[in-house]
Amino acid sequence: MSAIVRKIFISAGEPSGDLYGSLIAKELLAIDQSLEISCIGADQLKESGVNVIRNSQDLTTFGFYEGIKNYWRIKKIYQEVSDYLDSFRPDIFLPIAFGGFNLKLARSMKKNKTKIVYFAPPQLWAWGKWRTKELRKNTDKVICLFPFEEKFFQDLGVKAIYLGNPLLDYIESQANKPAAVLNRIPKDSKIITFMPGSRKEEIARHLPLMLEIFQKLRDEIVEVYGLVIIDKSYSLPKIDNLFFTEEEKYQIMANSNLIVLSSGTASLEAAILGVPHIAVYRLSLPTYLIARALVKIRRFSLPNIILQEDIIPEFIQPKLPDLYPVVIKLISSPNSIMKQKLSKVKEVLIRPGAISRIAEQILS
């Protein structure tokens, strides 16, 4: 370590950030048990042994328009967090993704001479490149999630580095954990898994379509079983051969013939596991129109972006007639070409021991 680090604050405003933050926090504490770490986070960061001062679920929104609608609520939370940071005075501020909120916090912390290490930086290659100056000015170091980001950000004058993606090692450590729900499915049955997302807005937009798909699929394929990975606090319908579960999701994903998921980190997880999947994104009309104006990339699922190739089917604002023919085709016959191409994603990302290097880089 180049300087004594006693206090770290992690700001993870999204579910994927909670996972990444928990992996980083555990590794930081393994290096130095005396560290005092506080955070914005959820269950996984809490389980890592750090002090959660605000649940990140209070911040979560899905879409541009929804973010605007929740402006005053998020602004109030921002002020509460800012007040806490004034008294906590961390040596290192570690924002994770969630660019709008975290860039503003980084600007404030930089004025206090706090070291800023941004993990999983805002995806300026997709939209919002005008935030470059702020990212460059208010960070001491940026640790990228994907290899292509390193050069992209360096060309913009940002001190960026790629050290590997922590998901690779984590998924490998979790994928063989037992999932009891799989014992309820007869051997040789077709399994389709649905991942509607973790935010309330995502689930409300994706789950009804996913249930429609399964009901139609069950009418055509007798031996098909469905799994929905979702928080069981939701009120869910009873459908034959369909199970709702919070169990070990990687084991469930790995045993699926096909996954239909809301695009995001779940698509990267499915790619690492080598499982054929379909990415869908259903947005409110205002958010969809704003996204069309702002987002500058053609592909939106991470495997397709990483390889710059149309590997998995993507659907924006789909309805059942758009999606179902692709579902029935992919689940009816193995897609060896898709599996082969998905394996390339892992090859591009792979650098074992990423989380250790990331923690050391944060403290250096």
Identify the band that residue 175 occupies on the pLDDT scale cut at 50, 70 and 90. Answer: confident
Residue range 304-347, pLDDT digits in tens? 999 999 999 999 998 999 999 999 999 988 777 888 899 999 89
Backbone CA torsion sign across 277, 293, 208, 327: negative
Q: How far apart are CA 281 and CA 315, in angstroms?
A: 6
Q: How far apart are CA 244 and CA 56, in angstroms?
A: 24
Q: Domains of the chain (ranges plus CATH)?
A: 7-162 (3.40.50.2000), 173-349 (3.40.50.2000)
Closest CA to 12 of 24, 3, 27: 24
Which residues touch 44 (CB under 8 Å, ≥6 apart)?
18, 19, 21, 22
Contact 305, 271 (CB under 8 A): no
Residue range 187-227, pLDDT digits in tens? 889 999 999 988 788 888 899 999 999 999 998 887 899 99
Q: Is 0.85 surpassed by the pTM of this model?
A: yes
Residue range 7-66, pLDDT digits in tens? 999 999 888 999 999 999 999 999 999 999 999 999 999 999 999 999 887 776 655 555
Contact 254, 177 (CB under 8 A): no
Tokens describing residue 266: 């779940």
Residue range 225-273, pLDDT digits in tens? 999 999 877 778 889 999 999 878 999 999 999 999 997 899 999 999 9
Which residues touch 238 (CB under 8 Å, ≥6 apart)?
none
Tokens describing residue 23: 């992996």
Q: How far apart are CA 45 and CA 18, in angstroms?
A: 6
